[in-house]
Structure 1
Amino acid sequence: MLRMSLLATLAFALCQSAANAQMSHHQHASEAACEDAILRCASKVTPAFAPDGTLWLAWMAGGHISVASSKDEGRSFSAPVQVTREKLNLDWGPDARPQVVIEKNGGIALAFSRFRDKAFNGQVLTTRSADGGQSFAELRPITSSNESQRFVALGLDADGSVFAAWIDKRNRVPAREEGRKYQGAGLFFASSKDGGAVYSETHLAADNTCECCRLGLAFAGPGRPVVVFRNIFEGGVRDHAIMTFADPDAPGEVRRVSNDDWQIAACPHHGPSLSISPAGTYHVTWYTSGKARKGLFYARSQDEGRTFSDPLPLGRADRNPTRPYVLAGPHGTTMVWKEFDGEKTAINAMTSRDEGKSWSTPSAIATTTDTSDHPLLVSDGRKTYLSWMTKADGYRLLPIGDGS
């Protein structure tokens, strides 16, 4: 497996050497320069707003997962609370990061993955705080399976249930024992009725999905999770697909987002983003290097993912656009992504006030001259913010116009 992973990484590097060089530099520079568990040393930071407007951050640094909160839009933070009790070999993959959701009663559900061996087999661990983030329960595996789980995504349903989806390799061994070819991994899911303390039995939503990309997760309505993921279609084509659940236990049909025709026997490490507006519009952003198109793209669906608009290209091709993220906020929809001009990395943004039919002119809203995390978007119900961790300038939370 290690040899296969190394060959896959090398193959993808030939397709996107500049992007991988930037990601690799980010990873190693951050880890080598700062080994403490404090926010300043974080390589991955995930934000979430509580219903009362408190901003919570979950981050990975120094082999630990920690959290802290802010009452003043990120200008100052509470004393950090260390979630992990011992140093772990946390999943440092470009698309891996801790996941956090905040309940109405102040409870906090967390999930993240660690590497269990040198072959990059992972394990998703979960925990919960019942006292507003002052302490966390002992870590629990999200599943009893001893196979690899990575790239977990968490979402909070309208009734307070926590829905989890992740990439899982438990079906590869049975397939090989039966002499069947097995590509990729499976998309698995589970839910928790007690705020992330205990998860239900896990189930397969779709098999033969790409094994190394983040998932996009949102809700089409109460009890209706929606997951966007990089799938493996016939012929080894790794294009994006979307699935709308009829309820938290009933996965729906796998539907294609776009025909990019990216045939590659490797791991792109560059997953999609999904947001669903109150009007029901599905907004999806993604990266591809297919025969049909290359770069970053956006598309929308107004029929629950059955059909999508023609892909809209994002960013300047000569500036290596990467890591797109979309959020349907309180006053419109916002997209952000990274671009690199040879000297600095910029976060560019576009906004839409008409459900993604038209967009503003792209503008740079933040820059840095050193390594940085992926740009994320988060909303407190009033504003949309860019959440961005940079090595040179630390953590930033910047309000965006939001199309209002």
Structure 2
Amino acid sequence: MHSRFRFCGSAAALLLVLTPCLPVQASKPGGKEGHHHETIPGVQSLDVYATTSQLHLLTGGLSNDGSRTELYHQSSSDAGKTWSAPVRVDAGQPAPHAAHRGMDPQIAASGDQLMAVWMTPGTDMFGGGPMATALSSDGGKTWKAGPNPADDGSTTGHGFLDVAADARGSFHLTWLDTRGEKRGLRYARSEDGGTTWSRNDTVDAETCECCWNVLAAGPDGRVGILYRNKEPRDMSISWSSAAGTWSAPVSVGGFNWEFQGCPHVGGGLAAGGEQTSPIWHAVVWTGMEDSLGVHHVSSPDAGATWSKTQRVAGKGASHPDIAARGQEVIMVWDTTNEKGSHIEAARSSDGGKSWQTAVRLSSAGPSATHPRVVASADGGFRVFWTQRQGEGPTTWQSSPFPSSAVSTVSSNSNTR
């Protein structure tokens, strides 16, 4: 059986039904996160990263004996039509802890230099612990253990990660951890492919406890982190154009959503427009009663100001992502109704000013959730998601978009 979160806000008597994620994670008082594991076969986590010539996929699933989660890498040089054989990433390292959709182990690439990062078991009250990294210098053919990027020496939870590479080949990483009594947003940078890491920066000392974060490195050299803030529970963004210097957070959406809890929904961030003057696009979700759903916003001035929100999908829509190339912008999300959950996508050809009617990507029957979208090397876009039919295994699927045909890939519990 799938599990759902229901958060009831007493002031508005608001009932939010969020799409299933496996295993389930629920927020706890005091900035802690709680983990409830369900032994369900199939893909537990998924991340995808696009370079100018390759797609890199990182999936997590139970080992054959069910004792741990294992991570596997695959790559595609034809925009997702075919994939290399899976290669184990985390062999000889601590297993990923609580890997599930919405807290997926992450991957990034710069040429043949690849990096994967995940949270391992530790000593917090829910079993979370330090980060682990794995590095590849041959495009994912072989992997070796890398260092822990955190410098706090803590064995408590370091989760909700995101990693990206910039045009110079530097890797940028963000995550949530607790230092003192507050759960906050941290950042570190590696200039040598993950062999060493910078000192950690605190981007925001107190944030929402358990929504995923998004880090994007733009063509102009700027790095942005989109995350859910504490009060109000709106998405915020902070920028760095010089190592270790972060701007004050700016609200993205400005819904002023007061909510005592964690909705377990992050957003998406992508750069479109021109290389020399990128237009930043964000997709954000809110549970605010009169604005419920996923919204597009854009910034023509490197994130200093943001457009008014455009609601692209309303009630039932959640877990969004976004990708952009030039004036083309693609938004994806899952929609939950009485029949289950399915994947939808919408396209803008004018930089987000207007949006075409959303189309359904996932087939009828399976419950599909947590889509990701990337700009692919063939000039189009590729959407990824996970789905489950009844009591069968969870599989990952992908589809080119715009396209009416879905290219489906199924996987077993360990993706081999």
Which residue of 1 is the match for residue 397 of structure 2? 396
**SS in structure 1 opposite 2:209?**
coil
How many pairs are equivalent?
Answer: 370
Residue 114 of structure 1: CA displacement?
2.9
Does the CA-based 8 Å contact 1:260-1:292 persist in structure 2? no
| Equivalent position of 2:50 in the other structure | 49
Deviation at 1:134, TM superposition (A): 1.9
- Residue aligning to 2:151: 144
**Counterparts of residues 156-195 of structure 1 (less than 5 Å):** 156-172=165-181, 182=182, 185-195=183-193
In structure 1, how many angstroms separate the alpha carbons of the residues matched to 2:119 and 2:368?
21
The CA deviation string for residues 305-348 of structure 1, in whole angstroms up to 9 with x for no partner, is 2222221113242xx11111111135611111111342253322
Q: CA deviation at 1:139?
A: 4.4
| Corresponding residue number in structure 2 for 1:371 | 367
**Mean Cα deviation higher: 208-217 or 132-141:** 132-141
Q: Percent identity?
A: 23
Residue type matched to 1:19 in 2?
L
Using structure 2 for the length normalisation, give the TM-score.
0.80
* More displaced stretch, 92-101 vs 151-160: 92-101
Alignment of 1:20-39 (within 5 A): 22-23=20-21, 32-34=39-41
SS class of match (1:163): strand
Structure 1 residues 323 and 293: alpha-carbon distance in aligned structure 2, compared to 1, 3 A threshold: same
Structure 1 counterpart of 2:76: 70
- 1:210 maps to a residue whose letter is C
Q: How much is the aligned-residue C-alpha RMSD, in angstroms?
A: 2.9
Match of residue 336 from structure 1: 332
> Would you identify which runs of 4 or more consecutive aligned residues in structure 1 move more than 4 Å?
8-17, 24-31
2:142 to 117, 132, 135: 135
Q: Answer whether contact 1:273 1:284 (CA < 8 A) is retained.
A: yes
Query: Matched residues in 2 for 1:138 and 1:325: separation?
Result: 30
Confirm or deny: 8 A CA contact 1:239 1:261 kept in the other structure: yes
* Aligned-partner SS, 1:194: coil
Matches within 5 A, 1:5-404: 15-19=14-18, 22-23=20-21, 32-34=39-41, 41-51=42-52, 53-62=53-62, 63-85=69-91, 88-92=95-99, 94-104=101-111, 106-117=112-123, 118-145=125-152, 146=154, 147-172=156-181, 182=182, 185-233=183-231, 237-279=232-274, 280-290=278-288, 293-317=291-315, 320-329=316-325, 332-381=328-377, 382-392=379-389, 394-401=395-402
8 A Cα contact 1:26 1:372, kept in partner: no
Asked whether the equivalents of residues 46 and 97 of structure 1 are also in contact (C-alpha less than 8 Å), the reply is yes
Greater per-residue strand proportion: 2
Question: 2 CA distance for matches of 1:85 and 1:129?
Answer: 13
Unaligned segments of structure 1, at least 5 residues = 1-7, 35-40, 173-181
How far 1:120 moved relative to its partner? Answer: 5.0
Which digits, 9 at most, give the CA deviation of each residue in 1:196-250, with x for residues without a partner?
A: 22211111111111121111222344431011111123xxx21111112122321
Given residue 266 of structure 1, which amino acid in structure 2 is its aligned partner? G
CA 1:122–1:261 in 2, change beyond 3 Å: closer, same or farther?
Answer: farther
**Pair 1:305–1:16, CA change in 2 (3 A):** farther
Q: Give the distance between the partners of 1:246 and 1:96, measured in 2 at CA.
A: 27
TM-score (norm 1): 0.83
**How far apart, CA to CA, are the structure 2 residues paired with 1:287 and 1:303?**
22
1:330 and 1:397 mapped to 2: Cα distance? 23
Once the two structures are TM-superposed, the CA of residue 31 in structure 1 deviates from its matched residue by 5.3
Matched residue SS, 1:188: strand
Please identify which structure carries the higher helix content.
Answer: 1
Which structure carries more relative contact order (alpha carbon 8 Å, separation 6+)?
2
